[in-house]
Structure 1
Amino acid sequence: MSSDPEDDYVPWIQQFCESFGHDYFVPVAQEFIEDDFNLTGLSLQVPYYREALYTILDYQVETSEDAPTTNAGNGLRSGSGKRSDLPNKLLLSHSAELLYGLIHARYIISKPGLTAMASKFERSEFGICPRYYCDGMHLIPVGATDIPGQETVRLYCPCCSDIYLPLSSRYLNIDGAFFGTTFPGLLVKMFPEIENQCKLRINKVNQDNFGIRLFGFKIHESSATGPRMKWLRQYPALEEERREYAECELELPPANDGGVDMSVSEASEIEPDFDDDRTMASEGI
């Protein structure tokens, strides 16, 4: 590997990062891409995989527009002078972007990739959490699924454990699979200081002052307008709570006898939720 990090990736990768958002992507080292072990299984997801890989590595790739005109009996499309086994430039560009995005998702969960993304996290290049009590906690890019073409990239806050859309519309065309579902959790576990930052922010919040009030009285948590998100900012303090938290990470907690038991008939009588922002004031009541 070259001592200069600028020599570890090719110009095509730089152009990709600049066009899609250099704030989100980190350049993947060329030696990572050239290792076939890191690319296992990607040939089944990307059309024209070999041509796309050569494009990423900045090799000369022949397209259907560049192919010479010959007869149709030598593997050519009948009635035209273009080979049917070669992609056109537009399809090749799309395949190369898809392949590099999937490689990027694997690279950022490696040690050098995590280190590079941690530097972006420290500089708050992914933005900050909009919640007041998160106190400007830095966000982490995440994908809702590892399958490309389903969801765009989201931003995860390790403090409130919620997910947000990017503020800039420039990043709404980035596929979430280019970051994957594994990266945020691995980054937090790889750098424990992120969890410490979250705990410091949570400990600064006075739980008695959290939530809205009516005439000075706190609204009960069981109310529809109560502080339902309060549990997101609660960390186990006692040893018993820590054991319960550790068990819940692996399996569902045991049923609570004091909880509300609703039968099927009662559940069916509940009116469905409607996504309506109107209030009774607009209806003249």
Structure 2
Amino acid sequence: MDDYASDTDSDYTSYWRDWFISSRGNEYFCEIDEDYLTDRFNLTGLNTEVHYYQYALDLVTDVFDMEVDDNMREQIENSARQLYGLVHARYIVTTRGLAKMMEKYKQGVFGKCPRVICESQHLLPMGQHDIAKSSNVKLYCARCEDIYNPKSSRHNTIDGAFFGTSFHNILFQVYPTLLPKKTQRRYEPRIYGFRVHASAALMRWQEERREEMKDRLRIQNMETGFEDEDEGDDDIESEEDEEDEGRDGIDDMFEGRMQPVQ
């Protein structure tokens, strides 16, 4: 029985990274190259952030051969997870790391945007802080430029610092062709086909500010970053004009009847 336990522990420590990557709930992580893990320069400063740092590093790099009790093993295991996550945040902004995460992004491993108008845009994991245990991982949509919680409870517990605040932005800087066009479409609340006045006024103001911004960008010969929807602008404007004329007619009809109270 002891021999069997010893063999199991040996197999476990020999393939810790394979086990970690293939474990349920760790789909967001990519495998860190062994050369990167064994380069002490890449681990600078982590010895002060991770308990049992050396034991954890030995476990991650598959050289841990020390016999410990179950309680100690659990603590080392937790430290190894944290160490791998913090190194992971550094690795995924390297050339190799970006390439691996880019493939995951293209395959939709991180999920799709829940916003209907984004049309199932693929998401990217990100952290709101670079300090461990500050907040859990979020998912970033490059189309609507908003962040969301992961759907699965398994992913909700992942530390956001394991991906950092810069990774998703660096990925689109290195692979600009992956950056989707910003959408100009928004949901318009309507009652019997007529836009709700307060929401319509707010949206009209926002659209005017957006058009002003786009005009300034065009003057500077810069890309607006929005998808091309100019072809349908005339139709949209004509529909809005018709609605405005209808509202103006209704306002005029009641204007003469409504007098201020003396």
SS of corresponding position for 1:60: coil
2:189 corresponding residue in structure 1: 212
1:118 and 2:122 are equivalent in the alignment? no
Change (3 A) 1:57 1:155: same
Is the 1:63–1:88 contact (alpha carbons within 8 Å) kept by the matching residues of 2? no
Deviation of residue 226 (structure 1)?
5.1
| Percent identity (aligned) | 38
Where do 5+ consecutive residues of structure 2 fail to align?
1-13, 224-262
Task: Tell me, in whole angstroms, the C-alpha distance in 1 between the residues paired with 2:218 and 2:196.
Answer: 25
Shift of residue 214 of structure 1? 3.2
Displacement, 1:42?
0.8
Q: Which moved more, 1:98-107 or 1:181-190?
A: 181-190
Shift of 1:194: 2.2
- SS of residue matched to 2:139: strand
The one-letter amino acid paired with 1:42 is L
Secondary structure at the residue paired with 1:141? Answer: strand
State the partner residue of 1:252. Answer: none
- Give the Cα separation in 2 of the matches to 1:125 and 1:141: 10
1:198 equivalent to 2:198? Answer no
Flag the structure with larger Rg.
Answer: 2
Residue 175 (structure 1) shift = 1.2
Q: 94, 103, 107: which is aligned to 2:87?
A: 103
The match for 1:141 among 112, 118, 125 is 125
SS at match of 2:28: coil
8 Å contact kept, 2:189–2:199: no
CA distance in 1, matches of 2:219, 2:38: 45
Which amino acid counterpart does residue 212 of structure 1 have in structure 2?
P
Q: How many residues align?
A: 205
Per the alignment, residue 180 of structure 1 pairs with 164
Report the 3-state secondary structure (helix = DSSP H, G, I; strand = E; otherwise coil) of the residue aligned with 1:187: helix
Say if 1:225 and 1:13 are closer, same or farther in 2 by CA, change over 3 A: farther
Matched with 1:44 is 48
Q: Note the C-alpha offset of 1:98.
A: 0.5
Tell me the SS of whatever aligns to 1:145.
Answer: coil
- What is the match of residue 57 of structure 2? 53
The alignment's C-alpha RMSD in Å is: 2.9
Tell me which amino acid in the other structure corresponds to 1:109: V
Structure 1's consecutive aligned runs of 4 or more residues displaced over 6 angstroms after TM superposition are: none
Name 1:30's counterpart in structure 2.
34
Q: Which blocks of at least 5 consecutive residues in structure 1 are unaligned?
A: 1-9, 67-86, 247-285
- In structure 2, the partner of 1:131 is 115
What TM-score, normalized by structure 2, do the two folds share? 0.69
TM-score, length basis structure 1? 0.64
